[in-house]
Structure 1
Amino acid sequence: MRTLLALVLVFTTHFYSSLAATASEWRNHSIYQLMTDRFARPDGSLTAPCDPNERVFCGGTWKGIISRLDYISRMGFTAIWVSPIVEQSDGRTGVGEAYHGYWTRNLYAFNLKFGTERDFIDLVGAAHERGMLVMLDVVLNHFANPGETIQYQNLIPFNHERYYHPKREIDWGSQPSIENGWMGNGYLWLPDLNTEDKEVADILVAWTKNVVSKYKIDGLRLDATRNIPMSFWKRICGEVGVYCQGEVWASDVNIVCPYQDSMDGLHNYPFKVAATEAFTSPNGNLSAFVQVAQHMRSQCKDVSLFGTFMENHDNPRLGSITTDPGRLRTLAVLNILSDGIPIVYYGQEQMLTGANDPLNREALWHTHYSTANNLVPTFTRLNAFRRLLISAASPTPFTYAVSTYHLLGTQVLNIRKGDVSLVLTNLGVATDIVVPMFAAGEELLEVLSCRLLRADSMGQIKLTLTGEPLVIYPRTRIADSETTICGA
């Protein structure tokens, strides 16, 4: 233990204070998830080859991200989630290279494929200069070993078998096995750290606290949260001093919600799965979606601190399920305006179509970072509108307001959150509806189209839906900001 603690002390030569954004402050932000290797190259190339099927490094770096931060900020995103930064298992295996950042070899060294320590410091600084928070993805569950024979001596600092659980595959139906078993296969095993061991836990906590402090990290994304006991997460999130959001990859509300006792929030997998199933097809069950959303609210401590997402690096892109722009816009509306902290995976705005991993990890530079004929204008307007709602005077701030759900038939849903009314459908054909619960004669703005609407004497709006989502808000509440939102 003495040797390992010495390594920690060597690594922690300088300390800096982070912005240390609180969980409450993170509610006000909208996060753009980056995969460092696939977002932007430092040479600015828009044509450099990158076949996701090959599972190899494509050349994206931290300098590349810096060069394209304006692309992110102009869409209104105020935080970035960055891939893990540490040195990876080297070389090509039967399951590819460690371009994603989840195959740790050396906890105390930087991934030089992504750049130098100075480059990473510059990235965080460039984000902060734009008023953007930085969420760092950290992997504390496992290290990586190519091949069947485990070379423990190559893993730093945990260079002995005693730091790991015994090698056994995971039974995903057993929680003890999920926490103690190993992910991977004969091509590449992921030796599972014994975080119940005090020496291991102490080192991981010290490393995490140092990284947050030294590099001014504002929040943490916790990889493989379900694979580590809740007691470890409770300790580390209690000590690290920044917002923690964990990954519990499960659609069962009863599995996900208890983890909020150990951290600030979780990825809202139940909501994502239910929304995708409900709105990507006319056969989707809107009632089932409502039940999941309501169940989350009743079972979880605070859904407003969850990350609301529709795509990520582990799940098929929405564009692989449907190419209908109206459906994709509907899910974008849920992504940004639902309860929780929005997270948009890079390329969702470009309507990329990659299916399962690795196809959902395309090079964004091949899109030329286009801002037309995609969802960039949609996300830009939604983020601007959300900022307006956050700044608006209200007895219940928008980020704390609780959504209520009202089915207007089997295929149309009205969601109310504060003064915002969302009208969403999974139909792709014209349908006439009546939306109630407005003030008599009230003038309203449909935010996405900037169309003016007026409620009748009964407080109803009669509309024809064409498959596009509607975001309706009282015009008097938007006042001087209407020009900002609608650009005219």
Structure 2
Amino acid sequence: MAKSIQDPEILSTINTKPPTKRYHPSPLAWEDQLLYFLLPDRFSDDNEKNYKDIENRPVTSGSTPLFQQGQDNGNAIRTDADAAQWRAKGGVFVGGKLKGLKSKLGYLQRLGVTALWIGPIFKQVAKLETYHGYGVQDFLDVDSRFGTREELRDLVATAHEHGIYVLLDIILNHSGNVFEYIATDPHYTGDTFPVKGFYDENREADIPLGTVDAHTYPNAFPNAAIWPSELQGAECFTRKGQINGNGWDNAPEYLDGDFFDLKDLALGASNPDHFSATPALRALAACYKYWINYADLDGYRIDTVKHMGDGPTRYFASVIHEYAARLGKDKFLLIGEITGSRAFETVEATGLDAALGIGDVQEKLWRVPKGQANPSDYFNLFRNALFLNKGSHTWFRDRVVTMIDDHDQVWRGGDKGRYCSDGDGAELVLAALALNLLTLGIPCIYYGTEQAFDGQGGSDRYIREAMFGGAFGAFRSKGRHFFDEANPVFAGTAGIATVRAAEIALRRGRQYLREISGDGVHFGLPSRIGDGPLRSVIAWSRLFADEEVLCAISTDAKQVLSVWVTVDAEVHPAGTELALLYSSADGGVATEVPQKIAVEARSGRSTVKLTVPPGGVLVYK
């Protein structure tokens, strides 16, 4: 294990000139891909049985059986003591492994996933339960609770063999909780607080801040202080104390303050003009170059970009893009998690490739299929012309990553739960996934959404259930896994993903929300009346060259809905036909979905009549 970026193995890996091996090339277009985000501790421990392996063969040798709806719900909370234990387990490591993730690549491939976004896997601070991975102590090693560096490299290679790109979640803004202040509870005032010392392997703050003396502290590596050693200088930390409750949007507090007890790293001035990288930023850039080369990675998702500032972000994006290009990865993807109102501006100013659309985009994507917002609220977030409405949340097909659920749900404040946690979410989740996958942006599925996880509980831990069950399984269960390819949401999502992969218009086409009519005479965009939910068909077209693909979902979970929908008059004049590409209608729904529909002239426009099952999805071309 390396203690420094000057370690010969680290330097020789980073400084390969010219490259001595062939690296996995970037995709032609990232908007062609379907991302899947998971936390490695919560995905798979490789002990499941009754699932299918990467070659689609049954696996019966594991010890954890498949979850059975009805009989296994709530099996972990049948007594108050059991319920308390289940809740407690949600706040600690529960045992997911990189080898478990590798064993489920077939499951992901058959879902339609073409790119994995893996939560942080780097070594966490010893003796702390930062199962989520965001409390890094050593940026040059994999946490042993997840596996080894070699297992990471093997996972990436296997994913590449099966047509799946791999992105790692990385952190630059902060380290884990690696030192202790002298003050008991320091919060940001603008002043620099004195530091008692780095924590040692027993969580005693008795190692002076600065390069650790190996003779005085022979046990410091690997479970004390911070590594690599280039990050140990006092100048590598801002030492300003925690961001206050009302300071998350106050500059420079949100740039220099600690992210709760995670220690803020000093990356340099926010202003990108005449920027000079700090020692900490240079060391982190070297670490992340190493991982690109060592593991043959395809991209990074960068955590808490808002708290880094534009200067450090631009520097990092530049050096990483240049380094990856030298390895033949010309479109190495950098996704920034950017909360607040400056997402597009940050992408534009820094050279990031895309923003994680966790603000308005995610909220509208969540609310529209539930009928809680007008469809135009979501579709108006996107524009098809490069400079149209530049200052008003303008997004394009490859500049934003869109998803319904995630592990933070910042926009929901303190009332957290997955899409299926309230209302008709469980009946409408496939419609929501269709809206996600078949509209502009790089779509991403959060692990478990394809199994209709509900995440009920109100806080972060409950939206981070374990797919492999263990002591903290979904639906208040334990000891049951959820790799169920017969689940109708999984099957429906896989079908939608197949159509998306086959139709370039659904990946790269322009996008238009369509007017509808109940009588074929009076047309308009569907919209809510009063405060009640909108129960309607939402239809939109994706156009690419001379092709139009028409998509529709229903926000009514109970009734079949039939409406007339407008289509492009030049591509589809009256008398032409559209053929069915996908329908969610299945057993239990008495809905006759025609294989072909005729285009008719009504009220001076080209129209087709759609009949959509409850909470259903249709795609025609």
1:279 to 358, 369, 374: 369
Out of 78-87 and 286-295, give the one that drifted further.
286-295
- State the secondary structure of the residue aligned to 1:399: helix
Q: Which residue of 2 aligns with 1:222?
A: 302
Give aligned-pair identity as a percent. Answer: 23
Deviations 1:145-172 (A, max 9, x none): 1785462561123223321113233211
Q: Which residue of 2 aligns with 1:144?
A: 176
Deviations 1:56-89 (A, max 9, x none): 1111111111111101001111111112121101
Structure 2 letter corresponding to 1:402: R
Q: CA deviation at 1:43?
A: 3.0
Q: Which residue of 1 aligns with 2:267?
A: 195
Matched, 1:249 2:339: yes
2:614 to 458, 461, 467: 467
1:453 to 571, 581, 596: 596
CA distance in 1 between counterparts of 2:428 and 2:515 reads 18
Q: CA deviation at 1:424?
A: 2.9
Equivalent positions of 1:8-407 (< 5 A) are: 10-14=9-13, 18-21=23-26, 24-44=28-48, 45-46=63-64, 51=86, 53-54=88-89, 55-92=91-128, 97-145=129-177, 149=181, 151=198, 152=209, 154-157=225-228, 158-170=231-243, 171-184=247-260, 189-196=261-268, 197-240=277-320, 241=324, 242-250=332-340, 252=341, 255-261=342-348, 262=350, 263-269=352-358, 270-280=360-370, 282-294=371-383, 298-299=389-390, 300=394, 302-315=396-409, 316-355=417-456, 356-365=459-468, 366-390=480-504, 398-407=506-515
Q: CA deviation at 1:402?
A: 2.1
User: 1:447–1:472: 8 Å Cα contact kept in structure 2?
Assistant: yes
Aligned length in residues = 452
Measured on the aligned residues, the alpha-carbon RMSD in Å equals: 2.6
Deviations 1:86-118 (A, max 9, x none): 1101224xxxx1111110011122200011111
User: 1:274–1:289: 8 Å Cα contact kept in structure 2?
Assistant: yes
- State the secondary structure of the residue aligned to 2:32: coil
CA distance in 1 between counterparts of 2:234 and 2:594 reads 65
User: 2:439–2:506: 8 Å Cα contact kept in structure 1?
Assistant: no
CA distance in 1 between counterparts of 2:87 and 2:499 reads 35
Out of 344-353 and 47-56, give the one that drifted further.
47-56
User: 1:60–1:114: 8 Å Cα contact kept in structure 2?
Assistant: yes
Deviations 1:299-329 (A, max 9, x none): 3474423212111111231111345444211
User: 2:566–2:607: 8 Å Cα contact kept in structure 1?
Assistant: yes
Deviations 1:369-406 (A, max 9, x none): 1122331111111111111013xxxxxx6533221123
CA distance in 1 between counterparts of 2:339 and 2:399 reads 17
Matched, 1:417 2:538: no
CA distance in 2 between counterparts of 1:466 and 1:110 reads 47
- State the secondary structure of the residue aligned to 1:364: coil
- State the secondary structure of the residue aligned to 1:462: strand
Q: CA deviation at 1:294?
A: 4.6
CA distance in 2 between counterparts of 1:67 and 1:465 reads 37
Structure 1 letter corresponding to 2:375: L
Structure 2 letter corresponding to 1:46: T
Instruction: Give the TM-score normalised by structure 2.
Output: 0.68
**CA pair 374-86 structure 1, distance change in 2 beyond 3 A:** same
- State the secondary structure of the residue aligned to 1:359: helix
User: 1:51–1:362: 8 Å Cα contact kept in structure 2?
Assistant: no
CA distance in 1 between counterparts of 2:169 and 2:300 reads 6
- State the secondary structure of the residue aligned to 2:450: helix
CA distance in 1 between counterparts of 2:578 and 2:551 reads 16
**CA pair 399-13 structure 1, distance change in 2 beyond 3 A:** same
CA distance in 2 between counterparts of 1:327 and 1:43 reads 32
User: 2:397–2:508: 8 Å Cα contact kept in structure 1?
Assistant: no
CA distance in 2 between counterparts of 1:108 and 1:348 reads 32
- State the secondary structure of the residue aligned to 1:145: coil
User: 2:153–2:294: 8 Å Cα contact kept in structure 1?
Assistant: no
List gaps (5 residues or longer) in structure 1. Answer: 391-396, 475-488
CA distance in 1 between counterparts of 2:122 and 2:363 reads 31
Structure of larger gyration radius: 2
- State the secondary structure of the residue aligned to 1:421: strand
**CA pair 220-20 structure 1, distance change in 2 beyond 3 A:** farther
Deviations 1:31-76 (A, max 9, x none): 1112111111133342698946431111111111111110100111
List gaps (5 residues or longer) in structure 2. Answer: 49-62, 67-75, 77-84, 182-196, 199-208, 213-224, 269-276, 325-331, 410-416, 469-479, 517-525, 528-533, 585-592
User: 2:337–2:356: 8 Å Cα contact kept in structure 1?
Assistant: yes
CA distance in 2 between counterparts of 1:17 and 1:58 reads 37
User: 1:350–1:367: 8 Å Cα contact kept in structure 2?
Assistant: no
CA distance in 2 between counterparts of 1:400 and 1:114 reads 36
Structure 1 letter corresponding to 2:354: G
Q: CA deviation at 1:345?
A: 0.9
Q: Which has the higher helix share?
A: 1
User: 1:18–1:215: 8 Å Cα contact kept in structure 2?
Assistant: no
- State the secondary structure of the residue aligned to 1:220: strand
Q: CA deviation at 1:182?
A: 0.8
Out of 112-121 and 231-240, give the one that drifted further.
231-240
- State the secondary structure of the residue aligned to 1:314: coil
